[in-house]
Amino acid sequence: MRRVAVVAVAAACTVSSAQKSFDVPSSDGFRYVSDMLGARCGSLDCHGQAGRNLRLYSRFGLRLSSDDVPGQGQVTAAEHEANYASVVMGEPELLSQVFGEGGRDPQRLTLVRKARYQESHKGGRAVDAHGDRCIVSWLEGEIDKKACFTASTLRKPPGFGTAGGSGGAGTGGAGGQGGLAGSPSGGAGGTGGAAVGGTGGTLASGGTTGSGGYTCGMEFWPCALDVYADCSAAKPSPPGHQVYAKADCQSCHGATGPGQEFLLSGVVWSHDTKAGAEHVQVAVKSGADFYLTCSDQLGFFFVPTAEQPAPNWPKAETHIRAVLGEKIMPADKEHKPSCNSSDCHAHVEHTLWAP
Amino acid sequence: MRRGSLTVAAALTLASACKDPVLEARVEALGPDTGPYPAGPNHRAGAPCTLCHMEGSAASSPFDLGGTVYARVSPKQGLGGVKVRLFDNEGDELGVVTNEVGNFFLRKGELGPIDFPIWVELEYQGEVTAMQAPIFRERSCASCHTDPAGPTSPGHVYFREEP
């Protein structure tokens, strides 16, 4: 719970002001709600605009810092805090009432009614069941993080990110404007259409993008790969291998070690269980090459050498992702094959926790 | 005679009352078209098309959607022959190809069944790049994709970041 103070100014001949305080849902964990609202409501053409009463900052929408750009970099703590303020200050009295009654009748709040499209909303129904649950759980006092994260990851439509196969596209239509291409039966209108498609790379655990490389915008993760993908280790570590969980994997799995040679390797941990975390996507992007792997039942992950070129480590980007979010390794940290070396993630202060 | 004049005056009053002063101001803010092309498919590359090309605005031909695709971040050169693929959540898909200056547009009705939110891919010579977030309601790319890039805009639409 958090108390917010609102200064109410009574406009009259004499100026008086009174500060009122309200008990409202906590900002702890609000980043999960914030991420969901940002993804579903905060695009640049909706609430990601400075002129909005409900102004939302998000990764692909409006940014708070003058140094940040939509689509680049994670949402900052300051942006989450600004979103919290935006949501809380909309109807503080009502919010306090709803929260005080354990989240009962949340539709008393404009935020909820608009999101559910129970009242006029240009964006229509903005949240799905998970998104609704996310907001309501926050109002109830215990955020359903999984619902929030599920709702914050927009499902891409069928065909999107598969790079082609939609038939021909015309060029030189009326007045030089391209003709239309209907899916899936090919182009209509315009002439000289050329069939394109089938060039998108495919991704395999531990592999790199296929020929024709699917370059997907400014985003780190390829469009075709979403977090719902079944992320399982291609080759789980053998029983008892956890005794090596604090060791530098590359000492055995490097070029001169006795084990299978890895390009990179490490261990990711669950903060809840303090044991290895399974089903975590670990990826390194190096130029056009994308290296992807998934952690096994003990939290181990690796990318086999398999005649692939090594990443250009000084310029590599490293992300990990799981059902509750994503972590990005800061650019100023040393990216290298041995994630688990003693001065890196094997160090007690730098344990690699899963999102 | 007097009655006729009053009717005309009333009609003019009604007509002017229907104008949108905010829209007019935004169109005015675009300034004159100083580009090398006359009004037509090639003109005003990089401008928010539907500001004028919407019903009730300056241009006579309303668009469902429009924009300009550039080859790179810099130099800012329009890229023709890019297939702009539009997808919606119902599985509907539509493609339109940019013209020689990088402009593309769909006239009113050409968007067909495609409904917002719309996901966008660009495909050029077998390579694909895609917007990571869908368009929720805006019909002009350049309304969000303004230059320079900053906290309120990712900058103009480009196909590749690097040459």
Question: What is the distance in angstroms between the CA of the first residue and the CA of the last residue of chain B?
Answer: 70
- Residue found under tokens 């968007």: B111
- Whether the pLDDT of residue A202 is over 90: the answer is no
pLDDT grade for A139, boundaries at 50, 70 and 90: very high
- B148 touching chain A per CB within 8 A: no
- Whether the pLDDT of residue B40 is over 80: the answer is yes
Question: For the structural domain made of B35-160, what CATH number should be given?
Answer: 2.60.40.10
Q: Which amino acid is at A191?
A: T
Write the CB contacts of B101 (distance below 8 Å, at least 6 apart in sequence): B37, B42, B45, B68, B78, B80
- B105 touching chain A per CB within 8 A: yes
For an interface test with A, the pick among B136, B144, B157, B160 (most A C-beta atoms closer than 10 Å) comes out as B136
Q: Are A319 and A225 in contact (CB under 8 A)?
A: no
Do β-strands B158-160 and B70-72 pair in parallel, antiparallel, or remain unpaired?
parallel
Tell me the whole-structure pTM to 2 decimals: 0.69
DSSP of A170-209: EES-GGG---EEETTTEEESSEEEEEEE-------TT---
The residues pairing with B119 across neighbouring beta strands, listed in sequence order, are B87
* Mean predicted confidence (pLDDT) in A323-341: 84
Chain B hits for A161, Cβ within 8 Å: 121, 130
- Whether the pLDDT of residue A205 is over 50: the answer is no
- Whether the pLDDT of residue B144 is over 80: the answer is yes
* Mean predicted confidence (pLDDT) in B18-29: 87
Nearest residue of A to residue B98, measured between CA atoms: A178
Contact A169 B95 (CB under 8 A): yes
pLDDT tens digit string along A75-113? 899 999 999 999 999 999 999 999 999 999 999 999 999
- Whether the pLDDT of residue A165 is over 50: the answer is no
* Mean predicted confidence (pLDDT) in A337-350: 90
* Mean predicted confidence (pLDDT) in A282-295: 90
pLDDT grade for B115, boundaries at 50, 70 and 90: very high
- Greatest Cα-to-Cα distance within chain B, rounded to the nearest angstrom: 70
pLDDT tens digit string along B124-140? 998 888 888 999 999 99
Of A46, A171, A217, the CB nearest to B136: A46
Task: Give kind and range of the element (H or E) at residue A85.
Answer: helix A77-88
Chain B hits for A285, Cβ within 8 Å: none
For an interface test with B, the pick among A44, A202, A223 (most B C-beta atoms closer than 10 Å) comes out as A44
Closest CA to B156 of A140, B147, A147, A217: B147
Chain A hits for B48, Cβ within 8 Å: none
A162-to-A48, A196, A250, B42, B94 alpha-carbon distances in Å: 28, 12, 35, 30, 14
pLDDT tens digit string along A229-263? 678 888 899 989 989 998 999 999 998 889 999 99
A119-133, A166-180, A267-281, B109-123 — which is least confidently predicted?
A: A166-180
Write the CB contacts of A289 (distance below 8 Å, at least 6 apart in sequence): A208, A209, A308, A309, A311
pLDDT tens digit string along A24-55? 999 988 999 999 999 999 999 999 999 999 99
**Domain boundaries defined on chain B:** 35-160
pLDDT of residue B7: 53
Number of A/B CB contacts below 8 angstroms equals 159
Of A177, A180, A200, the CB nearest to B95: A180
Between A220 and B80, name the one with better pLDDT: B80
pLDDT grade for B18, boundaries at 50, 70 and 90: low
- Whether the pLDDT of residue A193 is over 80: the answer is no
- Whether the pLDDT of residue A179 is over 70: the answer is no
- Whether the pLDDT of residue A272 is over 90: the answer is no
Residue A18 in 3-state DSSP? strand
Residues 63-92 of A with CB under 8 A from B: 63-66, 68-72
